[in-house]
Amino acid sequence: MNPFVPPRLQTGIVLASGSPRRIELMKSLGLSFIVDPAHMSVEDQELECPPHDLPLVLASLKARDVAGRHPHELVVGADTVVIIDGEVLEKPSDDRQAAEYLEKLSGRTHEVITGLAVRRHAAGLELREKERTLVRFNALTPHEIASYVASGEGRDKAGGYAIQGLGSCLVRSVNGCFYNVVGLPISLLIELLKRCGQ
């Protein structure tokens, strides 16, 4: 049980993501939930919106995709992006692009934004918010970049790195929610669940 979430909201939650990191964070909260990833490919969505709004729009699309299969449950959709100089760094398509991402991030500060959408389809309820965290990287040598890319850790991660693993060695400082960088801003999620119970 989670003392920060109303008891009646601690069951019947659906996580619209197959991300192992999000699943582990949800488990750590003591909530009862099932995993039903969105079937849509967010990479195939042609969206015209500012970069900072993209994760919120994608989180909502994921939640809506899954909510049709679970109309009476609370569906949680999430999407995380890395932004630097107004450019969105999505999941790298290959190791070369991953290295390019790390070169851009080296020695600089970038934004990590996660959009969250909590939806109960039958009630016509959807709450959406986003979390922003600033992450500063160490100055990286070509050898360090090549070694990290070769580890494979960042291949399926926005920006080409994972802060909770070997990628922690890339990071000099974090200003804001650490869990947001992992992919699920816990405090914001709890806030949205509370609002669903009001």
Distance CA 83, CA 2 (A): 33
Indicate if 53 belongs to the active site: no
Distance CA 69, CA 39 (A): 11
Cα-Cα-Cα-Cα dihedral sign, residues 145, 147, 148, 154: positive
Considering the candidates 36, 44, 79, 95, report the single residue annotated as catalytic: 79
| Residue 188 in tokens | 């914001």
Q: Nearest to residue 106, comparing CAs of 134, 85, 79, 136?
A: 136
Catalytic residues: 79
